[in-house]
Amino acid sequence: MLPAVIWGHWGLFYTSARHSVRMSSTRVDWKGMLANRVAVVTGSTSGIGFSVARRLAQDGAHVVISSRKQQNVDRAVGELRGEGLSVTGTVCHVEKTEDRERLVAKALEHCGAVDFLVCNAAVNPLVGSTLGTSEQIWDKILSVNLKSPALLLSQLLPYMEKRRGAVILVSSIAAYIPKVELGVYNISKTALLGLTRTLALELAPKDIRVNCLVPGMIKTDFSKVLHANEAFWNSFSEHHQLQRIGKPEDCAGIVSFLCSPDASYITGENIVVAGFSSRL
């Protein structure tokens, strides 16, 4: 029973506690923690978004998968359904109004309401210096990474009210430790910290919590251009206290926790999942 006690009183120990429960012979069934809840995850056909979608569904939520290509949506939905999870999916390029409308409609098919929104989609970071960036690239990065989460939330909000739900924005350690190679991406991810706080204030009266996941270097296709670059990795890994690169699963449990009732008094926070603390 110890893991359950740990979970109840110190929610942040949830991931390891849950893991130990799964590994033990006396299994405690955690499924159902997010039962009867509906989650929308953008950019969820690969990497961190896919891992988050899988974990929310494992914890009982019905999850709506989305990203830009139908074939990727079909593959992700097929894989998770094959694991017995409750998921649906649709194409949603987060910049496109009509795609966001389609995503909202798909999410409402399950029970007419939505509980959780995880804004994970973002455009590839490597653009170089801020002052050398064209106006077109500025617009693209700010549109996908910053504006689209707010616009999607405003479209979903009427269906999230009275559900005591949660929003998770996905920033980056680049917001805390900017790297010159990442230019405008650093800025878009820093602005998400401000969006988190502003939305937390705006939505508190509706009992909707808004928090921010701040991943460090996580091994995905998105970050390959960075972690496969020896010079970049050597300079970045100087920060690391845990001597490894992160896995998408390292981010998934914390998102599930932030959606769960055990996080019901947490809002406006940034949670760094980076293998180090920028404060140490």
Ligand X SMILES: NC(=O)c1ccc[n+]([C@@H]2O[C@H](COP(=O)([O-])OP(=O)(O)OC[C@H]3O[C@@H](n4cnc5c(N)ncnc54)[C@H](O)[C@@H]3O)[C@@H](O)[C@H]2O)c1
Residues in contact with ligand X by the rule CB under 6 A:
42-43, 45-49, 67-68, 92-95, 120-123, 144, 170, 172-173, 215, 217-218, 220-223
Q: Cβ of residue 201: shortest distance to ligand X, in angstroms?
A: 23
Q: Return the residue nearest ligand X (CB atom).
A: 47
CB 208 within 8 A of CB 165: yes
User: Which residues are annotated as catalytic?
Assistant: 185
Distances (CA, A) of 13 to 5, 48, 96, 244, 270: 10, 20, 38, 20, 16
Supply the minimum distance, in Å, between the C-beta of residue 42 and ligand X: 6
Instruction: Tell me the closest approach of the beta carbon of residue 77 to ligand X, in angstroms.
Output: 13
**Residue number with CB closer to ligand X (58 or 172):** 172
Please state, in angstroms and as integers, the Cα–Cα distance from residue 151 to each residue in 100, 138, 144, 251, 279, following that order: 9, 18, 10, 24, 32
Closer to ligand X by CB, 117 or 144: give it.
Answer: 144
Q: Tell me the two tokens of residue 2.
A: 């110890």
Nearer to ligand X, 95 or 161 (CB): 95
Q: Mapping DSSP to helix (H, G, I), strand (E, B) and coil, where does residue 226 land? A: helix
Query: Which one, 45 or 196, has the nearer CB to ligand X?
Result: 45
Cα-Cα-Cα-Cα torsion 178, 223, 234, 193, nearest 10 degrees, comes to 20
- Nearest distance from residue 106's CB to ligand X, in Å? 14
